[in-house]
Amino acid sequence: MSQQSAIAQTTSTSTEPSPVLFFETANAYQRTAALRAAVDLELFTAIGEGARSPETLAPRCRASERGIRILCDYLTIIGFLTKEDGRYSLTPDSAFFLDKRSPAYVGGALKFLSSRDLTSGFDDLTETVRQGKTQMGGAGTVDPEDPIWVEFAGSMSPLAAPSAEFVGELVTRGHSGPIRVLDIAAGHGLYGIAVARRNPQARIVALDWPNVLNVAEANAKAAGVGDRYELLPGDAFKVEFGERFDVVLVTNLLHHFNVPTCELLIRKVRNCLKPSGRAITVEFVPNNDRISPPIPASFSLMMLGTTPAGDAYTFEQYDGIFRRAGFQRSEILQITRSPQQAIISYA
């Protein structure tokens, strides 16, 4: 057994108090910085192309050998790479998500996820906790026409793609023929576009801020569904939706608001649906214990840091919101290849 393996085994099995978690958490900012540096340098792509040593990676990444060696060792420690005989290889996850040659590449999402517009919400988390709301200016990320959502629409498409395909399949499975879909907070537009691609008679109405809809419209045209893609610019709480929709998509929106505000929006959703209509919500949904699964449960902290009153709500809470808004019942499904869940609510 190597010394490193022995230390790891001792750490994982010891019942003695240990400062390991403290050190890992105090230095966690380095994980984000290392990942962003690797993406900026196209390190994962270079390794995928066959440059696997510091000597061959340095010129390919336009970086120093010392810097590349230390970065690659760190990425190996935290699980993005493997190392054998001084040579680095991609893990299956890294090859799939971080090699730019992969159709599932998500590195561009870091522009949004690590942007100062978003991370500034955690500059003074102590005061945020004291006051129970974001210390960002205005209403944080829910300010009207906040430009952060243009960045979101432009950079988060690869991460949203699996969820969008899941929802597209969910909407169209067993439902052929003409269908009208309202996509609220459309963002990049991928959810509505996924429906339109599967059903040539589907017509999509995309609602979002005008500057965000520019991104959605471009994506719809690129997908070949632009002629069935209508724009509805404005505030979802104020603009008139119209009526007689078969499906309303509410994706990654409700977590930004408190329960009464969510109910106001969902009542509008119920009123614009046909009697047989459905609302499909995509969200981070923690279990009732609010500490599992880790990613949906920890999303509450993101909402604390960036919104005045948002939260990650349990399915029980969502079911209550939709029932009080006039829906008959809701069910929840785990989205494949995603930490998020889809809630189907029936009018």
**pLDDT value of position 176:** 83
Is the pLDDT confidence value at 65 over 80? yes
Tens digit of each residue's pLDDT (9 = 90 or more) over 221-237: 999 999 999 999 999 99
Is the pLDDT confidence value at 338 over 90? yes
**pLDDT value of position 14:** 61
Q: What is the DSSP string of 155-193?
A: H-HHHHHHHHHHHHHHHHTT--S-EEEEEET-TT-HHHH
The confidence band for 13, taking pLDDT boundaries of 50, 70 and 90, is: low
Is the pLDDT confidence value at 5 over 90? no
Q: Which residues pair with 280 in a beta bridge?
A: 249, 344
Same fold for the domain at 3-105 and the one at 131-346? no
Tens digit of each residue's pLDDT (9 = 90 or more) over 134-176: 999 889 999 888 889 999 999 999 999 999 999 999 999 988 8
Helices 210-222 and 148-155 cross at an angle (nearest 10°) of 10
Domain boundaries, the chain: 3-105, 131-346
What is the side-by-side strand order in the sheet with 273-283? 229-233, 202-208, 179-184, 245-251, 273-283, 341-346, 329-334
Tens digit of each residue's pLDDT (9 = 90 or more) over 263-298: 999 999 999 999 999 999 999 999 999 999 999 999
Is the pLDDT confidence value at 3 over 80? no
Q: Which amino acid is at 24?
A: E
Does domain 3-105 match CATH 3.40.50.1950?
no
Is the pLDDT confidence value at 1 over 70? no
Residue 88 CB: number of other CB atoms within 10 A? 24
Is the pLDDT confidence value at 86 over 60? yes
pTM value? 0.90
Q: Which helix (H) or strand (E) holds 8?
A: helix 3-13
Q: Topology of 131-346 in CATH? A: Rossmann fold (3.40.50)
CA-based max dimension of the chain: 67
